[in-house]
Amino acid sequence: MNIIIIRFIKNLAESAKDIAPIVLVIAFFQIIVLKKNIPNMSDIIFGSLFVLLGLTFFIYGLKLALFPIGDSLAHSFVKKKSIFWLLLFAFSLGVGTTVAEPALIAVAKEAAQIAQKGDNYADWLRYIISISVGLSLIISVIRILKGWPIQYFIISGYLLVVIITFFAPDNIIGIAYDSGGVTTSTITVPLLTALGVGLSTSIKGRNPLIDGFGVIALAALFPIIAVMIFGIIL
């Protein structure tokens, strides 16, 4: 019990260090540059404490559960020696984590409101982006298994993004580019990283530092392409 409390206090201190620069920047511009008092000071302090606690619990939860789960599952699928189940797991993980991503839900609803579309439009965006992340994980797993360099995929992918941009409707381009960022957020990143690192650690001849990372880069790239193709078709 004492070890858990000590670890929590350490995580709390680390979270406070992470939040401090944001607080200082806001306070500097509000007080020094704009020369205005900070409104609702008590609410801001109260809310900041909740943010601090939430961030602390989140980071502690990642270390305690999500990273070990992703790593152990990757090891288990390698031992099972079934490419089909490994790829199916990767695809399901990508779709499942992304469709539940709070940032994606918020952006999809905002895009639907501004475009004066219904909830179906927001749902379509979520599902297409989620499926594209699942497909990116399949490519990432195959890349790790084969030992292919990540840079070729990134260069080819962004060349494809540039080409498709010329054909995509103007009102979908911004949404497409932002979708690559919102998909790689609080829920998705820890599990995808754990999967990539765990998989490369389990395979003989793979370097976790070289082969294990790059999964997030592809996960951020595929939704851009998918959403622009979605805009072209519609």
Establish if 158 belongs to a structural domain.
Answer: yes
pLDDT, averaged across the chain: 81
Let me know whether 15 and 123 are in one domain.
no
Query: DSSP character for 120?
Result: H
Residue 52 binned pLDDT confidence (cut-offs 50, 70, 90): confident
Residues 92 and 41 in one domain: no
60 and 176 part of one domain? no
- Looking at the fold, whether 88 and 61 belong to one and the same domain comes out as no
Q: What is the DSSP letter of 234?
A: -
Q: Are residues 229 and 192 in the same domain?
A: yes
Is residue 1 scored above 70 in pLDDT?
no
Residue 72 within a domain: no
Residue at 77 is within a domain: no
Residue 106 lies in a domain: yes
Q: What pLDDT score does 164 carry?
A: 94
Q: What is the dihedral of CA 54, 57, 62, 63, to 10 degrees?
A: 150
Do residues 2 and 92 both lie within one domain? no
The domain boundary, picked from 35, 65, 95, lies at 65
Asked whether 152 and 200 are in contact (CB, 8 A), the reply is no
Shared-domain flag, residues 222 and 161? yes
The model's pTM: 0.77
pLDDT of residue 213 exceeding 70, the answer is yes
User: Above 80 in pLDDT, residue 87?
Assistant: yes
- Note whether residue 76 is domain-resident: no
Higher pLDDT, 112 or 126: 126
Q: Are residues 133 and 93 in the same domain?
A: yes
For the chain, where are the alpha helices, taking DSSP H only?
2-27, 41-61, 67-80, 83-99, 102-114, 119-146, 150-165, 170-182, 188-202, 215-233
Q: Which domain holds residue 24?
A: 1-65
CA distances from 114 to 38, 74, 117 (A): 31, 41, 8
Q: Are residues 53 and 154 in the same domain?
A: no
pLDDT bin (cut points 50, 70, 90) of residue 70 is low
Q: Per residue in 14-45, pLDDT tens? A: 878 877 888 788 878 877 877 777 777 777 77
Structural domain includes residue 61: yes
> Do 25 and 86 belong together in one domain?
no
Q: Which of 112-121, 125-134, 172-181, 189-198 has the lowest mean pLDDT?
A: 112-121
Task: Give the model's pLDDT for residue 41.
Answer: 73
Between 78 and 161, the higher pLDDT residue: 161
Handedness of CA 128, 129, 132, 137 (dihedral sign): negative
**pLDDT value of residue 186:** 67
> Residue 39: is it exposed, middle or buried by C-beta count within 10 angstroms (0-12/13-18/19+)?
exposed
Over residues 135-188, the pLDDT tens digits come to 999 999 899 888 888 899 999 999 999 999 999 988 888 888 988 877 766 667
**Average pLDDT of span 65-72:** 69
Report how many domains make up the chain: 2
Residues 167 and 229 both lie in one domain:
yes
Shared-domain flag, residues 26 and 137:
no
Residue 170 lies in a domain: yes
